[in-house]
Amino acid sequence: MNNPISNQLMRATLARFEAERQDALATIHLYLNAAVGVGEHPNIVAEIATAATRLADAEEALETLNRNFLQPTEEDVAENDH
């Protein structure tokens, strides 16, 4: 991606998914390690499962963007060899 706007959009997208990932991790950590938040949520298992799904979705999105848009493709490598 040589276009400055494309680079900025990709950085913003990656930051968004990284923020979602960190939020999910913090939520899981809170439920597992801090009894303060537990009293307000009677179904802790469901809350942790929801956070785990958000975590998995964010990590999958980050991996997908990295694999398809940030890592050089075989075509890129072949073009640079010539």
**What does the block give as tokens for 20?**
């979602």
Q: Is 80 exposed, middle or buried (0-12, 13-18, 19+ CB in 10 A)?
A: exposed
pLDDT attached to residue 72:
78
Torsion of Cα atoms, 33 then 38 then 43 then 45, to 10° = 0
> How much is the CA Rg of the chain, to the nearest whole Å?
18
Domains of the chain by residue range: 4-71
pLDDT attached to residue 46:
92
Residue-wise pLDDT for 12-67, tens only, equals: 999 999 999 999 999 999 989 986 656 666 788 999 999 999 999 999 999 999 99
Q: Where are the alpha helices (DSSP H) in 1-82?
A: 4-33, 44-65, 74-81
pTM: 0.79
Q: How far apart are CA 3 and CA 14, in angstroms?
A: 16
76: pLDDT strictly greater than 70: no
